[in-house]
Amino acid sequence: MTTAKIFMIRIRSAIGVLSLAGVTCLVACSNEEQTTPGFDDYRLEDYADLSPEDLVQKFNLRESDVAVRDLPGWAPLKKVVVEMPGNEPWENRFERLEFLREKAPEVEFIPVKNLSDAIERGVLADAQATIGLGCGPSTVDAIGPDVRWIQSGSVGLNRCFNTIGEEAERMQNTLRERNILVSSIRDMTKHAIAQHSFTIMLSLIGGMDIHAKRQRQHIWGRTTTDVVRDKNLDVEFQDLTLLVVGLGSLGTEVGRLAHALGMRVIATRNTSRSGPDFVDYVGLSDEMFDLAKQADIVFAAVPPTPATLGLFDMKFFEAMKESAYFVSITRLGVINWEDLKMALTSEKIAGFGTDDLPQDDFELWDLPRVIMTPHVSDYSPRYRDNQYVFYRENLRRYIAGEKLLNLINVDRGY
């Protein structure tokens, strides 16, 4: 075997490549001599190298219907305030800003640590855009009169939209009256969130919470683990049906992973019955109760809107199978938490997995068959880089007057 970058491997059985959820492995498929890149040649894909078209396709990003130059209030950018990542050294700001400046050399970028820092320094008074500061009453009240674009650093914008009351109405009216555009980084974190969600699903199916508890108690559970003593465990994937409530970008990615492992996938969406080929059936929102009766796993991925507040209540949990698991990646207001606890304690559902729940409801924390993580599903080594790749592309589009990505409809909130 040589040390050359490209080397020949002769395999008498067969070699092929199977890719699942971004993981590459070798399987038998051919008796022919194969040429395989050397280990030193492999590198992770750098999304910063993608063309605008490839970036949109890679993450299935949503372009606005109208070019930004044709929207009221658009004007060239001169000054943009940028919130720098709080988990990175302040010295790194120069590298991050240079990355943005590659597409906007004529723009003055003002780095800030957070909104309070921006307000104290008075840098928002004459800016035309903000990047990363988020979108909420405090931000909208603090920005100067010339701001026409808020690029949030988050996926969810529930502090800016999807809230109720006079304060929310006042803020949203301000956005409309001043023609302020708001965009999110939606879809740039969907791979991390979907894979984290799927990990929670598989943990429930495999009873990893049960086995972890027995491990801490020094119990060798082989003689106590079977389909009688531990119900609803280790069902083979091809025998499972996943219901995705909210077939948006995240729900679609979770469905893709489930289908790749052999699960049947059904779904609901608010706008239409359209969906990818791997979804067996797409129903409208009012069909979710009937579809819940078929599901072994329900994945909740609806946005938090006035119409979805308290959507998952006892009526829904009673529609589910007693052997089914409920997994949620939604904001807190979408779930009726008292009804969920009642459904778990009365064993109307088999278990619950989430990346977010009421932080002081320790009764829920302590219930059996509950697996939780502390709102970290989007964390990955790519998180900050993905943010800035998206910032740079949307910045380029705004300056050029093109269609923005992930532009939020103020009326819908997504």
Query: pLDDT digit string (tens) for 41-65?
Result: 667 889 999 999 999 999 999 999 9
Domain extent listing, the chain: 1-39, 55-187+381-400, 190-372
Across 12-26, 161-175, 273-287, 356-370, least confident range: 12-26
pLDDT value, residue 82: 96
Span 55-187+381-400 CATH architecture: 3-Layer(aba) Sandwich (3.40)
The mean pLDDT value for 347-356 works out to: 95
pLDDT value, residue 385: 93
CATH of range 190-372; options 1.10.287.1080, 3.30.70.360, 3.40.50.720, 3.40.50.300: 3.40.50.720
Across 67-76, 130-139, 236-245, 295-304, least confident range: 130-139
The mean pLDDT value for 157-178 works out to: 73
pLDDT value, residue 7: 32
Q: Helices 190-206 & 249-260, crossing angle to 10 degrees?
A: 50
Q: How far apart are CA 351 and CA 348, in angstroms?
A: 9
How would DSSP label each residue in 204-260?
HHHTHHHHHHHHHTT--GGGT-STTTSTT----GGG-EEEEES-SHHHHHHHHHHHH
pLDDT value, residue 244: 98
The mean pLDDT value for 246-274 works out to: 94
Going through 324-396 in order, the beta strands assigned E by DSSP cover 325-328, 351-354, 370-372
**By the 8 A CB rule, do 147 and 124 touch?**
yes
pLDDT-derived band at 186 (thresholds 50, 70, 90) equals confident
Give the residue, 26 or 78, on which the prediction is more confident: 78
pLDDT-derived band at 158 (thresholds 50, 70, 90) equals low
Using DSSP's 3-state secondary structure scheme, residue 72 falls into: coil
pLDDT-derived band at 11 (thresholds 50, 70, 90) equals very low
Q: 159 pLDDT exceeds 80?
A: no
As given in the structure block, the two tokens for residue 268 are: 């609901």
pLDDT value, residue 303: 85
Q: 68 pLDDT exceeds 50?
A: yes
pLDDT value, residue 307: 85
DSSP code of residue 389 = H
Q: 273 pLDDT exceeds 80?
A: yes
As given in the structure block, the two tokens for residue 183 are: 């965009």
The mean pLDDT value for 299-306 works out to: 88
Check for a shared fold between 55-187+381-400 and 190-372.
yes
Q: Helices 190-206 & 208-216, crossing angle to 10 degrees?
A: 70
Which CA distances in Å does 170 have to 125, 197, 198, 208?
Answer: 21, 35, 38, 47
Q: 287 pLDDT exceeds 60?
A: yes
Q: 24 pLDDT exceeds 70?
A: no
Please state the pTM of the whole predicted model: 0.83
